[in-house]
Amino acid sequence: MTDRSTRQLVVVNAGLSNPSTTRDIATRVAYAAEHGMAATGESLEVSVLDLRALAGDLATFMTTMIPTPALEDARLLVGRADALVAATPVFQGSYAGLFKMFFDTLDKHALRGTPVTLVATAGTLRHSMVLDYAMRPLLSFLQATVLPTGVFVATGEYGDSSESGDLQARVARAGAELAAELRTEPVVGAGVEGVTGMTGTDGTGVTGDTAGGFEALLRVHSGT
């Protein structure tokens, strides 16, 4: 996280096609967040990182553990971002291989406290749980602050004159939620020892229970 007046939002796009439905939905969320920031007089700069262009670089890293200059630039871009939109198509019931490969190159603390909105696209609605059962655990492991509202889009919802109003509403809601998170400017590291980077919904640090407090609670329930 940074303290610059202009906040930096990076879209990490694992879509493989060009044009890409995944990229389009993710950038819609990003620009909805930008609109939400502008409404309060704040600015948000949006960058898009297309992992498709890094396929060879990621393969090189996986076999040598040495990042290419292009991959190092991408990692720095993501590490310095104030927020991310992480987007992937669904393959075999989970995120794309490029998506996992890129996040595997990051240090496990690289995203500590960074707000992340999840986006996934698939052919059918039966894959909608990929947001919570695949993507959320991965980003949470990297200590990102994964926001509650993700956007899953099935093929039938997208791309023609009858595009779902519900889809547009979900995109707008996710963007507004991300903008609100950025405006709170949560304090990274304000949590209790051992649980740093946790923030409350108002952006203040979460204070945890001490051992003594927990023991006291147990005594109440045990009658001691």
Are 38 and 72 found together in one domain? yes
Are 129 and 176 found together in one domain? yes
What pTM was computed for the model? 0.79
pLDDT given at position 164: 63
In a domain, 1, yes or no: no
Phi then psi for residue 105, to 5 deg, are -80, -10
Count structural domains, the chain.
Answer: 2
- Look up the domain containing 81 and give its range: 6-185
Report the chain (224 residues): mean pLDDT per 10 consecutive residues.
74 95 97 94 96 98 97 98 98 96 96 98 91 97 97 84 76 97 58 33 36 42 44
Are 116 and 211 found together in one domain? no
Are 43 and 114 found together in one domain? yes
- The whole-angstrom separation of Cα 140 and Cα 38 is 28
pLDDT given at position 3: 45
In a domain, 11, yes or no: yes
pLDDT given at position 188: 45
The residue type of 206 is: V
Are 103 and 162 found together in one domain? yes
CB 12 within 8 A of CB 51: yes
Q: In CATH, what number is assigned to the domain containing residue 77?
A: 3.40.50.360
Q: What is the DSSP secondary structure assignment for residue 127, as one 8-state letter?
A: G
Q: Is 186 exposed, middle or buried (0-12, 13-18, 19+ CB in 10 A)?
A: buried
Question: What is the CA angle 47-197-183, rounded to 5?
Answer: 50
Are 181 and 91 found together in one domain? yes
pLDDT given at position 4: 52
